[in-house]
Structures are given as C-alpha cells and as structure tokens.
Structure 1
Amino acid sequence: MSALHGIWRKIRRATGGRRALGVHVALVLVIVLVAVFAGRLAPMDPYAANLAEAFQPPSAEHWFGTDKLGRDIASRIIHGARISLTSAMILVLVISVLGSFLGVVAGCFGGLADAVIMRICDMMISFPGIVLAIAVAGLLGASIRNAIIAIAVVSWTKYARLARSLVLKIRHSDFVTAAELNGIRPGRLMRRYLLPSALPTLVITAATDIGTMMLELAGLSFLGFGAQPPQAEWGLMLNEGRANLLDSPWLMIFPGAAICVTVVVFNLLGDALRNVLDPRRAGRDEDLVELARAPLP
C-alpha cells in the first residue's frame, strides 16, 4: 500500500507541472465514462434490428449509419466501448498480477523456483503468441471470456520476466543484504524492498498494455474466436462489416476508428506515466528543459 501511495503522490505532483499527463488522464476518463454510461449515451437500442433501415449511410438520425440488420452503428460502438474496455482491463489486471507475482518470486528465491518459472516462460515464448492464443481459444470455444483466458495464457510471461529482472537488480544490494542479516522474512522482504522497486515499471507497462490487449482481443473477435453475435464488440463489428466494405464502408470505418483512438490514448497515457515514474527518464527530460531555457551564447 505504501508503494502505491508513493506512486500516486508522484502522479499527483507531476500533474500540476506536466499538462500532457493531465490531458491523457482526462481522455482516458472520457473513454471510461462513455463505457460506464453507455446505456444513457447511446441514442438507440444497439440490438434492435430494423431490416427496413439496413445499410443506411451516416445521417442526422443515424450518426454512423446502420448495419445489415438496421442496427444503429453509433449505439453499438458506444456499447462496444463497455465490452472492449472492460475485457482489456480485466486481461491486463490478470496478466500483470499473475506475471509480476511469479517474477518477484523467481527473482527473490532463485534456485528451483526461478528455474521452473523461467523455463515455463521460455517454453511459452518459443511459440508465436497470437497463434498459441488462437489455438487455446479454439480448444476452449469461441467467447469473449475464453478469448481473455487464451491471451492471458500467452501474455503473463512478459511481466514475469520483467519483474524478475527488476528484482535481480537490487536483490544483492547492500541494504537488502543488511535486511537479510537482521532476519527479515522473505515475505516482508518482497513487500518492503523488492516489490516497491519493481512496481512503477510494472504500472507503466500495464497502462500501455491496455491498448495492446484491446487490439489482440479485437483480433480474436475478428477471426471468430472472441465475442459472438449479437454482441456489440468492436472487433466483431469489423468482421461483420468486411463483407460490405466497398458498398458500406462506414461499417468498418467507425469501429476501426474507435479502436485506433482508444489504443492511441492508452499508449500516450503509458508514455506520460513513464515520464513521471521513471526517475532517469524524468531527469533527462528536466535537463532538456533547462537546456532549452538557457540563453544562447
């Protein structure tokens, strides 16, 4: 808890001086609010079919047009934000917590635990990630829940290797050795020293991965291994619209734009968090600012 409080203090202190972080946080909040209040913001029922209005182009009544069943695309995109964003956040939470825990355990204890966890990571990394995810999703069955499980199975290794490398950087430091000589327990050692040192980098990685995981989930849905009709999910909407791309391009343009905007916003948030939570990066940025402000000779 103290480590999380320290990260929050850094973010709050930096927000006042760095407008970029405040802007990116505001954009993320807008996306989250759209997902939370999708039922009130959507102009129409996203699942109400009206074949008489099928393939209508964008208009004042249907902002983004309608699909082959006459459903309002704008309403489906707004509701799709809830499914896509929730799924991506759940996935990032699962892989970051599981992978970070295993990585910290491997770096802290070493020996057999380190060997077993790292060999499993090597085995998982030896396969192409998306191919293995498709195989797992195919075995489990097509659904958004199984898509989350499939991507989680192949994605936790990154956090495990990252957390292990961060822990090993300070594992043999003098203050850690002194704490061990004083009889500190392994669990307290991880909570007090090892985890706080790794947490900022892991938080940055998790924030940036939300967009990446959203793309992977949309990819599985596009291939038919994720969300299933009639769910309003952005990847599934792209799959449904590809057959009519030439005649009704809005069926793919607007869901694709929603994915692109959301991914870019979360990537920018990850970059802003890196500037705040990475002391070395922040120091370089401050040096550049001072150099820019210095008078010319």
Structure 2
Amino acid sequence: MIKKLLNDKIAIGCILIIMITCILGIFAPQLAPNDPYLQDISNKFMPFSLKYPLGTDNLGRCVMSRLMYGIRPTIFLSLLTMACTILLGTIIGIISGYSRGIVDEVLMRFCDIMLSFPSQVMILAIVGILGVGIENIIFANIIIKWTWYARMIRGIVIQYRYKNYMLYSKVINTKKSFVMFKHLLPNILSEVIVLATLDIGWVILNISTLSFLGLGVQAPTPEWGAMLSEAKNVMATNPNQMIVPGLAILIIVAAFNLLGDSFRDALDHKEVA
C-alpha cells in the first residue's frame, strides 16, 4: 500500500496540501501577518499588499490572518468529529458483526431507524433543540453519522468472521474482546481509514455550511464558512471576500476526497486486465 501511494503523484500532492494547511493552522499565531480580530474601519476592503496579502474585510481585518486562524475550527474540529464518529462506529460495527444474533439485530435495527431520517434535517433538529454553537454541531454530526459507519464496518467484519484464524480462535475459546480488538480491528483498520478519509470532506462542508447559516462557529471567531457568510453581502462589489475562503474550502475538500480515492486504489489488490 505504501509503495503504491509513493508512486501516486495525486496522493503525494494531496498529502502535501493537507500537511501544509495543518501546519499553517497549528502555527497560525506565529505565521499570521496580523491580528485576525483587530478591526480598522478606515482600512476596510484594502487590496492585496505586503501588509495584507489577501486584503481586508468589511471591518478592516486581515483576510489572510483570519483564513489561517480559520483552519483550526474548520479542519481540526472536522478531524475531531470524524475521529469520534469513526471510533464509535467501529466499536459498534465490530460488536455487531462479530456477535450476530440478538445483539446484531437490536443494533442494526436502531441504525436503520437513524438512517431513515435525512441527515441534514436531523442535524438541524438537534441543533434547534440544543442551541447554536460548534459543540452542538460536532455532537449532532457524531450522533447522525456513526450509524452509517457502524453498518459499513459490520459488513466488513462479517467478511473476516469466517476466516480460518477466526474460526480457530473460536474453537479454543479465546475471549471475544481479544478476538474483536486484536484479530479483527488490525485487519479492518486500513478499510476504516479509507472510509474516514473519503468522508472527512463531507464533515468539513457540513461544519462550514452550518457556520455559514449562523448555527456553528459564532462571530468574531474566524472560520471559513462564517467568513463566507460575512462576505455574501458584498459579493458583487468585493468578490474576493468570498473567493478566498470558498477556494480554501474547495481545495481542502478536494484534497481529502482525492486522497481517499488513492487510499482505496492502493488497497485494491485486484489486477486490471
């Protein structure tokens, strides 16, 4: 798998984009050219310059600095959301796929109920009940999405359940917990990573969309979706205010999606005729 990825220029490019973006987010306080919260109305809508590399917004704040600080809530919180979702989904999926019987039936029927509701409607309903805020957005995304992962991972586990080493472990009465997390988990881990990588773009878009609607990250905290929301009123006169965060979201989502495709291709051992 590693060899295939190293020979895949698209995968290498996507990894570099993601790594550089994360580094910029981690070291934003040291690398940002200006204070992202500093307002100066006299300098609003300034053009690109050495002091303001991407200009300023309607309140005279440095767009470049806000873009860099916005990496943290946009990408890092999306990664946290995905990590919690995939962890919960993996545990439930392994338990369901390995145990089968009544445990499997109860868990999968619950997943069917959750999956029967449109995800966006459910997220909006949960946020409406709990209130606006990024914490509630993360919680809502985890609650809605883990069921899909649980069902997908259950299907993967069933494929491994009847392997010879799994049957042997059952014959010698190995503890179920040991089999699930020492035999099953390492074997399905690569496929779980592919699922997570392919879906992280959806999480980024979801958090950005809800922030755009005013339900996620609240002003004046910089976040890419919130920056788009602030810029929509001046889209005709100052389009760069929307283009900059819009392109940032487009590039990072595309990078994760293409990287997920590369991971999936690297794990495909079938030879093309």
TM-score (norm 1): 0.87
SS in 2 for 1:279: coil
- Deviation of the 1:233 alpha carbon: 0.3
Cα distance in structure 2, aligned partners of 1:201 and 1:279: 13
Q: Aligned pair 1:184/2:174, yes or no?
A: yes
1:96-245 equivalences in 2 (<5 Å): 96-245=86-235
The answer on whether the counterparts of 1:163 and 1:202 sit within 8 Å (CA) in structure 2 is: yes
**Match in the other structure for 1:38:** 28
- Deviation of the 1:141 alpha carbon: 1.6
Cα distance in structure 1, aligned partners of 2:12 and 2:212: 33
The answer on whether the counterparts of 1:108 and 1:167 sit within 8 Å (CA) in structure 2 is: yes
The answer on whether the counterparts of 2:17 and 2:252 sit within 8 Å (CA) in structure 1 is: no
Cα distance in structure 1, aligned partners of 2:155 and 2:23: 36
Change (3 A) 1:246 1:62: same
Query: Once superposed, what is the RMSD of the aligned Cα atoms?
Result: 1.6
The answer on whether the counterparts of 2:5 and 2:263 sit within 8 Å (CA) in structure 1 is: no
Cα distance in structure 1, aligned partners of 2:253 and 2:220: 24
Cα distance in structure 1, aligned partners of 2:47 and 2:132: 31
**Match in the other structure for 1:5:** none
- What per-residue deviation string (whole Å, max 9, x for no partner) do you get for residues 267-290 of structure 1? 12111222223323xx33xx6xxx
Cα distance in structure 2, aligned partners of 1:136 and 1:189: 36
Identity of paired residues, percent?
A: 35
The answer on whether the counterparts of 1:144 and 1:226 sit within 8 Å (CA) in structure 2 is: yes
The answer on whether the counterparts of 1:46 and 1:72 sit within 8 Å (CA) in structure 2 is: yes
SS in 2 for 1:224: coil
Which AA in structure 2 matches 1:209?
A: D
- Deviation of the 1:54 alpha carbon: 1.7
The answer on whether the counterparts of 1:201 and 1:278 sit within 8 Å (CA) in structure 2 is: no
- Deviation of the 1:197 alpha carbon: 2.7
The answer on whether the counterparts of 2:40 and 2:60 sit within 8 Å (CA) in structure 1 is: yes
Moved more, 89-98 or 109-118: 109-118
Gaps of 5+ in 2: none
TM-score (norm 2): 0.94
- Deviation of the 1:248 alpha carbon: 1.6
> Please, which of 81, 87, 107 is the counterpart of residue 91 of structure 1?
81
